[in-house]
């Protein structure tokens, strides 16, 4: 199994779902993990619960508040991380939201909300940590995209566009900062998390029917890919998008 002993890592949106799973996986592999959470009611308690779970398993973790869509909040978060843990070895951009609407009925606010978190947030967080990583001469950025950034989906144009942007961001930045910093993406298929809660049952049923593997994914299907890309086991990977998606977007 890939190891990250002595590494420090930050995972954005790490209080639930894929982010929580990745935070636990990185900690299990030996990294000290900053569990990022947004400044919303109840999120600090959820972050504390993730920290407790990591510590109960013998790992080390801290909770770190920050709104990934807000430049000042991200800068403050980066400063707090650096003060406590130094320059990160691993940055996982996981924070994301999804809503559902036909484009003809979509408000500008709905479009902006999704793009601000899912794409702008990746830019802001990476920009905040990248100078230190380049100066230290190494590190790994792992961006959580989506298979919909490859194939698209009706009533999810804003989400598909944002996640497609994450994949393009990953490829471009990998060319810019290699070989010092590796930049890769994960494009999971639909995974059983709270993020699917706002999507209709009709959508879920149709998706299960079209997946070659015949089921929605689990968080445990995604975490090993993140740990692999973060670790030296993935040392020859950069600019890549790996897809634990049950065969949804074959490419």
pLDDT of 146 above 80: yes
- The Cβ of residue 201 has, within 10 Å, a number of other Cβ atoms equal to 7
Predicted local distance difference test score (pLDDT) of residue 198? 66
Residue 248 has pLDDT above 80, yes or no: yes
Q: How confident is the model at residue 239 (pLDDT cuts 50, 70, 90)?
A: very high
Span 79-94, average pLDDT: 98
Residue 105, phi then psi, degrees to nearest 5: -110, 0
CA–CA separation, 60 and 64 (whole Å): 13
- Output the six-digit token pair for 126: 């990476």
For residue 120, pLDDT over 90 is answered with: yes
Residues in Cβ contact with 240 at an 8 Å cutoff, skipping those fewer than 6 apart = 184, 185
pLDDT, residue 1, reads: 65
Give every CB contact of residue 100 below 8 A, 6+ residues apart in sequence: 155, 156, 198, 199, 200, 203
Stretch 147-155: mean pLDDT, rounded? 94
Residues 106 and 5: their CA atoms lie apart, in Å, by 46
Residues 6+ apart with CB under 8 A from 162: 114, 115, 118, 119, 149
Residue 195: what pLDDT? 73
Smallest CA-to-CA distance from 146 within 185, 183, 200 is with 185
This prediction has a pTM of: 0.96
Q: What is the CATH number of domain 8-242?
A: 3.40.50.720
Name the active-site residue from 37, 159, 236, 237. 159
Share of the chain above pLDDT 90, in %: 90
Kindly report, residue by residue over 121-136, the tens digit of the pLDDT. 999 999 999 999 999 9
pLDDT band, residue 45 (cuts 50/70/90): very high
Angstrom distance (rounded) from CA 209 to CA 211:
6
The first and second tokens of residue 218, run together, are 């689990």
Residue 85 has pLDDT above 70, yes or no: yes
pLDDT in tens, 213-231: 999 999 999 999 999 999 9
141 Cβ contact partners less than 8 Å away, ≥ 6 residues apart: 90, 91, 92, 93, 126, 130, 133, 170, 173, 181, 182, 183, 184
Instruction: Return left, alpha or beta for 9; rule: phi > 0 is left, psi -120 to 50 is alpha, else beta.
Output: beta
**159 carries an active-site annotation:** yes
Q: Which of 8, 10, 25 is nearest to 244 (CA)?
A: 25
| Rama region for 113: left / alpha / beta (φ>0; ψ in -120 to 50; rest) | alpha
Q: Is the pLDDT of residue 2 over 90?
A: no
Residue 34 β-bridge partners: 10, 62
pLDDT in tens, 178-200: 999 999 999 999 998 887 776 67
């Amino acid at each position: 199994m890939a190891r990250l002993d002595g590494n420090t890592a930050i995972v954005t949106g790490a209080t639930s779902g894929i982010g929580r799973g990745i935070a636990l996986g990185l900690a299990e592999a030996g990294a000290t993990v900053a569990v990022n959470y947004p400044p919303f009611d109840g999120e600090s308690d959820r972050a504390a619960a993730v920290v407790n779970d990591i510590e109960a398993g013998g790992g080390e973790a801290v909770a770190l508040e920050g709104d990934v869509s807000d430049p000042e909040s991200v800068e403050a978060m980066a400063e707090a991380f650096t003060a406590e843990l130094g320059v990160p070895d691993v940055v996982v951009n996981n924070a994301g939201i999804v809503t559902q609407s036909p484009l003809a009925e979509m408000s500008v606010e709905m479009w902006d909300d999704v793009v601000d978190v899912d794409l702008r947030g990746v830019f802001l967080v990476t920009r905040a940590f990248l100078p230190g990583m380049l100066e230290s001469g190494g590190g790994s950025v792992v961006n959580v995209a989506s298979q919909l950034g490859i194939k698209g989906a009706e009533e999810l144009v804003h989400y598909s566009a944002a996640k497609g942007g994450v994949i393009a961001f990953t490829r471009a930045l990998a060319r810019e900062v290699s070989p010092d910093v590796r930049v890769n993406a994960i494009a999971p298929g639909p995974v059983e998390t709270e993020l699917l809660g706002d999507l209709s049952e009709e959508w879920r049923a149709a998706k299960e029917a079209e997946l070659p593997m015949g089921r929605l994914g689990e968080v445990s299907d995604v975490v090993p890919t993140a740990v692999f890309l973060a670790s030296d086991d993935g040392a020859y990977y950069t600019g890549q998008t790996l897809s634990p998606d049950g065969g949804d977007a074959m490419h």
